[in-house]
Every structure is written in structure tokens, then in C-alpha cells.
Amino acid sequence: MDKWKKLTASLLGPAAAIALGLLAGSIAIVIAGGSILETYAEMWKGAFGSLYFLTSTLNRATPVILVGLGAAVAFRSGFFNLGAQGQMALGGLAAALTALYVPGPGWIVAIVSMLVGIAAGGLWSAFAGYMDARFRMNLLITTLLLNYIATLFASYMVAYPFKDKTGSAAMAQSQMIDNAIWLPKLFKGMPAHVGLLLALVAMVALYVYLTRTVSGYEARMMGGNPLFAVYGGVRRTPLMLGVMFASGGLAGLAGAGEVLGSQYRYIDNSFVAADFAWTGIMAALLANAHPIGTAIAAFFLVALQTGGMGVEMNTDVPLEIGDVIQAVLILFITVKFVRGFRRRRKEGDPNGAAV
Amino acid sequence: MEQLFDLALFNSALRMLTPILLAALGGALCARVGLFNVGLEGLMLIGAFSAIVGNHYFGNTGAAIAFSIGCVSLFALLFAYLCIHLRANVIVVGIAMNLLAAGLTTFSLRTLFNVKGAYYNKDMVGLPKWEIPLIKDIPVVGDILSGHSPLVYLAIVLVGAMWYYFYRTIGGFRFLAAGDNPLAARSLGIQVRRYQYGAMLACGVLCALAGAQLSLGQVTMFTEGMTAGRGFIALVATMLGQSGPLGVAAASLLFGLMDAFSIRLQGFAMPSHFTQMVPYAVTIAAMFFFKNKEFVKDAQSSGTSSR
Amino acid sequence: MLLKMEGISKNYGDVRANRQIDYDLKPGEVHAIVGENGAGKTTLMRILYGMEQPSSGTIRIGGREVRFADPKDAIAHGIGMVHQHFMLFQNFTVAENIVIGKEPGKLRFDRKAAIAQVEALSEKYGIRVDPRARIVDCPLGVQQRVEILKVLYQGAEIIILDEPTGVLTPLEVGELLEAIRTLTKQGKSFILISHKLNEVMSAADRITVLRDGEVTGVLEASRTSIEELSRLMVGRPLAAMDKQPALPKDKVLEVKELSVLGSGSKPAVDSVSLHVRAGEIVGIAGISGNGQSELLQAISGLIKPAGGTVALLGADVTGKSAREFRNAGLAHIPEDRYVWGASKSATVAETGTMGHQRKLGKLGFLQGRIVKARVSEWIKQYAIKAGSPDNETQNLSGGNLQKLIVAREIAQQTPFLIAAEPTRGVDIGAMETIHEQLLRKRDAGGAILLVSSELSEILKLSDRILVMYEGKIVGELQEGDATEEKLSLLMVGGKRNG
């Protein structure tokens, strides 16, 4: 009984957020001179209208879910890792280069490439964790600044030493990887690839880790009150390095999966343009860093983007309509924190209410 | 071959440091009343965009800046309301504000100007360059100090004004007191919230100016995400300067110089990728000044100050 | 009558913090309010000072009914409050702290005038301070004088002193009582809130006793006794504790020449050596802020010492992490339950798991069912009002959370236990439970290091007492030998003769 009540209460927030987001979207549609119903119908079609659209939404959601899970595990532990963009870029680049230059049977190279991608993203992220643990350098800011450095570095690599010079175009991209290494598609001729299954496995694994394991318990306590965790015998530095490695590793895997399963080469700026990293972080924020909620939120946010493309194709409303709805959703996550606070105040301790 | 250091480098450093300095002063105001403002980047981006919008519709830089201030203040007030009245987590709201700014400017760029990526119009006027009558004739100093947009001079004046406010006026004294020990300030009937709102609003105005300097002062255009992390660099400047106006100015000067330096390096045979990394790398290096504090002590002091 | 409060009630949800309280104050009088933690003293004063609104009841000053929306109103009506935790701005000077809120100057803050005014005020009331000193550099006694001068500067006629002697040395307490006498002669009135009955008896003219939010007596100080007051405060005779003599065995904790750096030039802990044997409780007495916190953090692995060694059961654990200390046989009741002892957003079961998580793990998985069963057992055994183990920790009252923490740490069944301020801010019932558990642990052969700023607690539980002053151990007394007077002297750095 109590559990059901809790569940409905926890669903109320997201439902209200979605309603408000759609309302704001409606206003934007009217401003842009479109019809609300028609636009939303097109949006639905663009996201889920056919198996092709659905699988392309799923395809795009794959890296976003992975990044979101990575952000979620860091947020739950109280570490604001905002460096997914750089971690993903390095993961993608490392996977592409491995796939291009390591010999061997296709599936082995594919696995090795993904592992290298995880390692690249994970180490880059753990580096920021190390700077925080060792030198007390604010993680939130270093991860952000490292984004720029990593992205620029990856751009350089495919603009100069590893540039694909076979093509006629002057695009900054690596060579195409051998198709024996490509990740298999889930449905023939459809965009979604095996990476999606990996993302779902990661989601379940993360859920189990956080709720059932000793280390996950320690991570959550670290997020709740770090001094309490340290007092209780949780070692902050190893935990931080581990969590940051996992967090960046998931972002690196997102990049690797995108390269091996979708783009088949590292194309400069393609991850940034699709906004995978920040959408994933938004998903984690929306779901309060709950793993399953993060995956659902990631799918929903991506549906807004692919739906927006459908809208642009078939109506006069620009695809950025999805951005507006997202922006309102993001504002709403802060309101969620408020609800928790109100309740606290009512039960309040008399000494804390001197505001 | 071009020279690496000359007077023009310092001249452009002054131009580049201005947005960082303005935003960092705003960040310092917030930090002094216990709000760690991660949203500087977003506020600055909204400022840059709305300055261009104002310029487009009013055709007048003064009105453009006023419009920009109005827009950013609105968002700053929303930010303040969420953090202060609704007690939402300041960092989460700050991150949300950055995402909101990125989304809204992209959407508005598309609906208002019907372009993607960047908006440029040759009819738009940028901020004027002021030649300062006497100073411009002084040999070295004149070359560095003269010929900037008014916002550059305003930023320098604001450093002094903030110093005077903090350390010489009653209002500034109470402002610092409200941040030093909010509980004690409240027990004296000082309206801590009012100072917090004031700080956030002033921060909004400063970020609007910072954005305007980016989109109207340095160039006359808007590109998506044109703040490019300057808000976060400003945040580091706030931390390095320990939220004092003079310290913040010194840290901003360092970062401005690095910004100018990175542009200058492009004249050399070096891929632009590496030259563009310079400001970020230097910022991270500068953060080393914050080491040497044990986590437990750090967390304790931050824990008690927020209680 | 200067002040009259009638029928004051205050409810927080279902909790009735004040019930129909009457209180009055004459000019030049010291009227004390005494009561246990949670009796409603603080709530009543917050109402008088405008920090809370009463649910019902009236306040009259000089016969006129008043309503205070915030402290500013109260200050304007001549009420000043010296809070238990001083409300001072650490980085500002004494003069700045006194004049704040009513600064001389219009827009520009005239600091010279401020210093002159503070000097004049200090002269007038005979309370000496250096207006140019920064608060961080002032001892607590001076800080309290600053607080009193501040309320006088604001023009207070009624001065509320909330637990004013908690952080003072006996000498400073004497000076405070002297200052109160001087000021009452000049017509000021005092409301003295305290739970230290002997001080109340020596300072107050009248005493109001509160229990569970109600007045249980209003007495003339000259016609009552400490016994009568404590009976009215507690409402039942206290259970007599039977404490057997200690049977100390092997050394469990051995600390040698331990030093911890302080924030200034002086070390926070200065070359401290001590040991605790199995089966004894060693108490550390001292005025808070003399290095006890740092000592505890260094011997529980939370901070790294600058020098010296710590050994647990013979194993050197100096500079190791808290986990290694725990593995070596430490359990720890922390001095601040909210800072160290719990996570507010975690469930009761989760807060109760901390420190046990690695023992309750199986192949890296936490055994949720066992955890909940254990916590439920503690809830029963210690009579913790927690609802279910799935309840959030922040919904627990201070006393119940403290019992949960004590249960958790005792259940570690380690050879060594640190008990820091184990009963701070809890009611009598919880205090009795906690004391009983500590003694039981000792009798079972546990070594306990007790740190408390309450002398009565130290005297009641300890088999051996060490006194800490300015980071050093300045004296050691055996149970039978220790008296409150001897300890007080040592606590302020006085030498023990012989």
C-alpha cells in the first residue's frame, strides 16, 4: 500500500513536468505560427511513427542513455561530473583509432575498441577526480574545462595526423573502419545497433550496484553526507577515482558505440552537434540520478529531438521546438527539490527555521 | 615574422578580460552571500544574445544593452527565487540555467532571425571605440588603454566601485556581514535574503554587460555557445581572487592575457586547436593555488557555514 | 512590571513546545528560566525576541501589548539577546560587531566614530574590550562581553542571556556574574536561561521552572534549593546509577606525543600522550575548543596528525584512514551527530548500517534483510521513536537519532569506543539509557574514551580523568580524587599542587 503511494508520488513530478513542457511547447508553436495539434502529431510520427523512426530514435538514445547513466552514478555519489562531452569525444576517438590500426578478427577488434574507448573516457574523467582528491581542485569546473581541451584535441587528431585524405571533401574525420568491425544492427536495415543492448545492461547493472552492493551503498552515502561516509570508514579517494572512472567510462563507451555502430568513423564535431553529452546529463538531472529513470528520461528527451526533426520536415515550426520543451523540463527539476524541502519544513526542527 | 609580445597584445588583453572580469565580479557578489553561481555562463550567453536582439530591433547600442540587462535580470531573478525562496540546490539550478540558456538562445536564434549557428548583419553597429583624450597621447600607456569600448572602462570603474562599496559604506558592510554569518545577521534584523536577491540581480546586470561586450564589443555578431566556457573561467577568477574586487581583477587580467595570447599564437605556424586550448589549460593550472586543504577540513568549514 | 508574557503557547505541528506559559520581569531584576533540554526555554525566548510567532498568548512591555514580527521589532522595544552560540562576525573587529545594525555615518561607514562610541560605552558600563581587535583573535569570554556591549549599544533594557556560561572558564563566569550585578544596579533587567542550577542560584532573584513546555514552578531564589529545582525540572526522582569499580586490564589505545596542526601558529593538539585500558572509561575534561575535537579526529583516522603515534591493540595505525582504524578495533560516537553521525536524506536503516556495511556484505552485496532486522532490534531495545527503518533519518528528533548512533556504535562490539559528547542536547530519559549502555560496555571489558564539555557527565562516568587545556594534557585525576573544583582549576591552565 505504502509502496504504491510512494510510486504515484514519485511519478507525479515527472508527469507535471511533461505537462508543463508540452504547454510551453504549445506557446512556442503558436509563436512560430504552427498548429498545435498538427505539430505534436508530426512530432509523435517523427519519433515513433514507423519502425524506422522508432529505431532511429533508439539509435540516437543509445549514447544518451550511456552518458546519462555515467552522470547519474557520479551525481549519486555527490560528484558533479560535467565532463561527459570531452570524455565521450576521447572514447570515440580512441575506439576509432583502435579499430583502424589494430589487426585481428572483426568481433575481437570491436570489443577491444570498446574497451579502449571506455579506458580513454574513464581515465580522462578519473584525472579530474584525481585533481579533486589530491589537490582539492573543484571537480565541477575542471571537468567542464577539460571538455574544451579534449574536444579540441580530438578535432586536431582528425584534422591533422589521422585525417582521412582519401575522400574528396575537406571534412575533418578519420578514415572509415573496416565493416567487419561494425557493431551489428538490431533489425536489418534499421539504425538501432547492439550498443542499445549494452546500454540496457549498463542500466540494470548500475541499478543493482547502487541499491544492492556494499560499494554502491558507500557511494550513495558519500553523496548524501561525505563527512558521515568518511567517518564510517568509506575511503573517499579510491571511491572517487572509481566512480569517476565508471562515469567517464560510460561516456567513453557512448562515444565508442556511436563510432562502431553508427558513424563508422570519428567525425569532428558530430557528437557536439547532436548534443549527446548534455542531453544525457539533463536526463540524469531530470530523473534525480535514478538509473532506470535516467534511461527513460534519456529516451524521452531524444524523442523530443527526433520528433522535432519530423516537425521541421513537415511543418513551418523549426526543430528547436524540442529545445524549448527540454528547457522547461530542466527548470522543473529544480521545483522537485522544492517539494522535498517544504515537507521538511513542516515537520521542521524549531532551531532550523530562523529564516 | 610577427612578434609574440607587443603593446597590441596588452591592448587586446584588456578587451578580452572585460567579459571575464564583469562576470567574475558578479560571481564574487554572489559568492559573498553564499551563492556559488555556476550559472554565470548561461546568464552571459543570454546577455550576448539579447544584446544582439536589442541591437537588431532598436538599432542603437545603448538600447541594446538596456534590453540585454532587462532580459538577463529576469532570468537572474528566477534563479534567485528558486535558490533563495524555494531553497533549490544552487549548483543544480546553475547547471539547469546554463542548459536553459543554450536551448533558448538556439531556439530564439532560429525563430527570430531564421538562421542556424550564427547571426550576422552588416548593418548592425557595434559598441563605439572610445579614445580617451589625454591618455591616448601618452606613449605606451595610451596604446594599451585607449580605443576600447565603453564597457571596458566601465568594468575597470566597477572594480573600484565595488571595493568602495565593500569596505567603505554601511550597505557594503552589512552585505559582507550577511554573507559572513547569515544567522547572526538575521538575529540583528538584517534582511539577508534581500542582499542575496540584490547580489543575484547585480550579477545578472554584470553578466548582461559581459555578454554585450562579447557580442557587440569584440565582434558584432552572435554565435551559438559563443561564451565558450568564459563563464566558468570567470568562476575560477572569482575563486582565485577570493571574491575580493582587486583579487578578482588580478585573476581576470591573467585570464584575459591568456585569451589574447592564444589569439596571438594563431599567427604562428601552430594548429589553432592547441592555441585555443591555452586559456582552459592555464585556468586549470591556476586552480592549483587552491590545493593543500584536507577534504575533511574543507567539508567541515563549508558544512558549518551553510548551517 | 517591565515585561509580562501571558498564556504563551507554541505548536510545531503536533509538538507543543510551549503550553500556556506565564512569565514576568521587574526592572533591575534577574529572573531565570531553568529546564531540561527540550523543555521549551529556547522556544519561549525566540518568541520574545521576535524569531517565532506564538500560536496564542500576549506579550506586554510597560503595560502595552506588543507584537514582534522579527528581531528588529524586539530590539526597538529594548530587548537584547545574547545567544548561546555567539552571533558574531568572526572576520570583523570588535567595534564593527558592536555597532552593526546602527552604524555611525550616513552612507559611508564612519569607523572612527564607531571606535569612539564603543570606547565610551565600554567606559560607562565598566566592560573592557579592545574595539580594534578582530573577533577571531578574542577568547570566548571577551566575545561574550562584545555580545553584551552590542545589546547595550542597541539600547536594550531587557537582556536575555541564553546558556551564557557553557563556553566560559570559571574565572570568566565570575566576571560575567559581576557584570550582571553592575548592570542591574544601573536598571537593566536580565532573563537568564540555564540548566546549571548552582549558577542560577547565585545570579537570579527569581526562577521559573519549565518542564515539557509547561511552567512547574515560580520560586524566589532565596527561598528554594537546588534539590527542589531539580525535582521540578525532572518531575521524578532520577534513577540511581550503580557503578561498580573499574577493573582495568591491558592497554587498548596508546597515544604517544600526538600533535595536530591548528589554524594559527599554535598546534591544536600539542604532544599528547595517553592510554586507555580494557574495562575502564577515561574521561577528557576541558572547555570546548582546547583541542579535544582535533584529538578525536586524529585518533579516529579523520585527519592526519603532524607528529606522534597512535596504536590500537598494539598495532600502529598512525595516519591511516578511518576504515583502517575501524578494522583495528574502533567504534566512534561522534561529537556532532548531524555533521558526522548521519545522512539526513538516508533512511534510518541506511544511517544505522554505516560502519557495519563491510561486515554485512556477502560477495560485495549488502544483505538488506539482515540490516533491517538489526536496526529494528535496536529500535526496540533503545526505545527509539523512528517509525519504520525505511523512514528518513531527518525525521528523527535529536535524542532519538543520538540513541540510534549509540546503538550502532555499541553494536560494533569493538574493543575500543570513543564517546564524544554522547548526550549533548538529549533529554533525561535518553541520557540515562546512553549512560547505562556505556557502563555496560565497560563492564564487558570495553575501553572507552569519553570526551564531554559537561563536567557532571565526566565525573559520573569516568574511572580516570584527563584534563585538556590549549592542546595539552595538563592533569590526570583518579575517580575518587576528582572534584568539580579541582577540574575547573585545571581546565583553565591552573597547576595542581602536589
In order of start, what are the domains of chain C with their CATH numbers? 3-234 (3.40.50.300), 251-491 (3.40.50.300)
Three cell numbers at A73?
552514478
Q: Where is average pLDDT lowest: B221-235, C158-172, C178-192, C255-269?
A: C158-172
Running DSSP on this structure, what letter comes out for residue B122? T
Q: CB-CB: which of C86, C91, C101 is closest to B180?
A: C91
Any chains having at least 3 CB pairs less than 8 A from chain C are A, B
Mean pLDDT, rounded, for B7-15: 83
| Helices and strands counted in chain B (H then E) | 13, 2
Residues A111, A114, A119, A122, CA torsion sign: negative
Q: Which of residues 111-140 of A touch B (CB under 8 A)?
A: 131, 133-138, 140
Is the pLDDT score of B260 beyond 90? no
Task: Write the pLDDT tens digit of every residue in B120-148.
Answer: 887 778 888 887 777 777 777 777 777 78
In order of start, what are the domains of chain A with their CATH numbers? 19-346 (1.10.3470)
Q: Which positions in chain B touch A318 (Cβ < 8 Å)?
A: 107, 110-111
Q: CB-CB: which of B233, B276, B287 is closest to A152?
A: B276
Is the pLDDT score of C430 beyond 90? no
Task: Write the pLDDT tens digit of every residue in B56-86.
Answer: 998 888 999 999 999 999 999 999 998 888 7
Looking at residue B189, its pLDDT comes to 83
Q: Which positions in chain A touch C426 (Cβ < 8 Å)?
A: none
Is the pLDDT score of A342 beyond 70? no
Q: Which of residues 239-298 of A touch B (CB under 8 A)?
A: 278, 281-282, 285
Q: Which positions in chain B touch A227 (Cβ < 8 Å)?
A: 296, 299-300, 303
Phi, psi of C109 (to 5 degrees): -85, 110
Looking at residue B3, its pLDDT comes to 65
Is the pLDDT score of B306 beyond 50? no
Q: How far is B187 from chain A (nearest CA, A)?
A: 9
Looking at residue A118, its pLDDT comes to 97
Q: Residue C99's pLDDT band (boundaries 50, 70, 90)?
A: very high
Looking at residue B301, its pLDDT comes to 58
Task: Answer whether A221 sits within 8 Å of C334, measured CB to CB.
Answer: no
Cα-only R_g, chain B: 20
Task: Write the pLDDT tens digit of every residue in C311-332.
Answer: 999 999 998 999 999 999 999 9
CA distances from C74 to C60, C65, C154, C270 (A): 12, 13, 11, 45
Is the pLDDT score of A352 beyond 50? no
Mean pLDDT, rounded, for B191-219: 93
CA distances from B141 to A60, B8, B15, B136, B252 (A): 55, 11, 15, 8, 19
Q: How far is B188 from chain A (nearest CA, A)?
A: 12
Torsion of CA B133, B138, B140, B144, to 10 degrees: -10
Mutate: best of A136, A241, A332, partner B, most B CBs <10 A:
A136
Mean pLDDT, rounded, for C238-262: 85
Is the pLDDT score of C58 beyond 60? yes
Q: CB-CB: which of B100, B103, B277 is closest to A152?
A: B277
Looking at residue A332, its pLDDT comes to 73
Q: How far is C304 from chain A (nearest CA, A)?
A: 13
Looking at residue A349, its pLDDT comes to 35
Please provide the average confidence, as pLDDT, over all residues in chain A.
Answer: 87
Is the pLDDT score of C74 beyond 80? yes
The top-scoring range by mean pLDDT among A52-56, C124-128, C368-372 is A52-56
Residues in chain B: 307
Task: Answer whether C91 sits within 8 Å of B186, measured CB to CB.
Answer: no
Looking at residue C168, its pLDDT comes to 76
Nearest CA in chain C to B189: C72
Task: Answer whether A351 sits within 8 Å of C358, measured CB to CB.
Answer: no
Three cell numbers at A192?
538501432
CA distances from C332 to C174, C371, C379, C465 (A): 35, 19, 19, 19
Looking at residue B52, its pLDDT comes to 93
Is the pLDDT score of A239 beyond 70? yes
Mean pLDDT, rounded, for C125-150: 88
Task: Answer whether C109 sits within 8 Å of B180, measured CB to CB.
Answer: no
Question: CA angle A37-A40-A42, nearest 5°?
Answer: 110
Instruction: Compare C412 and C495 and report the one with higher pLDDT.
Output: C412
Residue linked to cell 511533461: A18
Q: What H or E segment, with its residue span, contains residue A97?
A: helix A84-101
Q: CB-CB: which of A136, A320, A331 is closest to B298?
A: A136
Reference C181, options C224, C126, C144; nearest CA is: C126
Q: CB-CB: which of A331, A335, A338 is closest to B100?
A: A331
Q: Residue B199's pLDDT band (boundaries 50, 70, 90)?
A: very high
Q: CB-CB: which of B96, B187, B236 is closest to A330?
A: B96
Q: Which positions in chain C touch A217 (Cβ < 8 Å)?
A: 350, 353, 357, 366
Is the pLDDT score of B304 beyond 50? no
Is the pLDDT score of A76 beyond 90? yes
ipTM for this model: 0.86
Looking at residue A245, its pLDDT comes to 98
Q: What percent of chain C has pLDDT over 90?
A: 50
Q: Residue C480's pLDDT band (boundaries 50, 70, 90)?
A: confident
CB burial class (10 A; 0-12, 13-18, 19+) of residue A15? exposed
Q: Which of residues 161-220 of B touch C (CB under 8 A)?
A: 168-174, 177, 180-181, 183-184, 186-190
Is the pLDDT score of A340 beyond 50? no
Looking at residue B1, its pLDDT comes to 40
Instruction: Compare C182 and C424 and report the one with higher pLDDT.
Output: C182
Q: How far is B201 from chain C (nearest CA, A)?
A: 21
Reference A94, options A237, A226, A231, A254; nearest CA is: A254
Is the pLDDT score of C496 beyond 90? no
Task: Answer whether A320 sits within 8 Å of B110, measured CB to CB.
Answer: yes
Instruction: Compare A125 and C125 and report the one with higher pLDDT.
Output: A125
Q: Residue A350's pLDDT band (boundaries 50, 70, 90)?
A: very low
Mean pLDDT, rounded, for B41-65: 92
Is the pLDDT score of A47 beyond 70? yes
What is the pTM (predicted TM-score) of this model?
0.87
Q: Which positions in chain C touch B189 (Cβ < 8 Å)?
A: 70-73, 75, 101
Q: How far is A104 from chain B (nearest CA, A)?
A: 33
Q: Which positions in chain A touch B106 (Cβ < 8 Å)?
A: 320, 323
Is the pLDDT score of C382 beyond 90? no
Q: What percent of chain A has pLDDT over 90?
A: 57
Task: Write the pLDDT tens digit of every residue in C342-367.
Answer: 998 899 999 999 999 888 888 889 88
Phi, psi of C118 (to 5 degrees): -65, -40
Is the pLDDT score of A343 beyond 70? no
Is the pLDDT score of C174 beyond 70? yes
Q: CB-CB: which of B183, B188, B304 is closest to C101?
A: B188
Q: What H or E segment, with its residue span, contains residue C478?
A: strand C472-478
Reference B20, options B199, B291, B172, B241; nearest CA is: B241
Looking at residue C286, its pLDDT comes to 87
Mean pLDDT, rounded, for C39-52: 88
Instruction: Compare C265 and C120 and report the one with higher pLDDT.
Output: C120
Nearest CA in chain C to A228: C340
Three cell numbers at C469?
587545556
Is the pLDDT score of B101 beyond 60? yes
Looking at residue B125, its pLDDT comes to 80
Task: Answer whether C365 sits within 8 Å of A235, measured CB to CB.
Answer: no
Mean pLDDT, rounded, for A46-50: 90
Looking at residue B146, its pLDDT comes to 76
Instruction: Compare C200 and B43 and report the one with higher pLDDT.
Output: B43
Three cell numbers at A48?
515513433
Q: Residue C160's pLDDT band (boundaries 50, 70, 90)?
A: very high
Q: Residue C497's pLDDT band (boundaries 50, 70, 90)?
A: very low
Residues in chain A: 355
Mean pLDDT, rounded, for C250-257: 94
Q: Where is average pLDDT lowest: A12-21, A81-90, A225-234, B244-253?
A: A12-21
Is the pLDDT score of A335 beyond 80? no
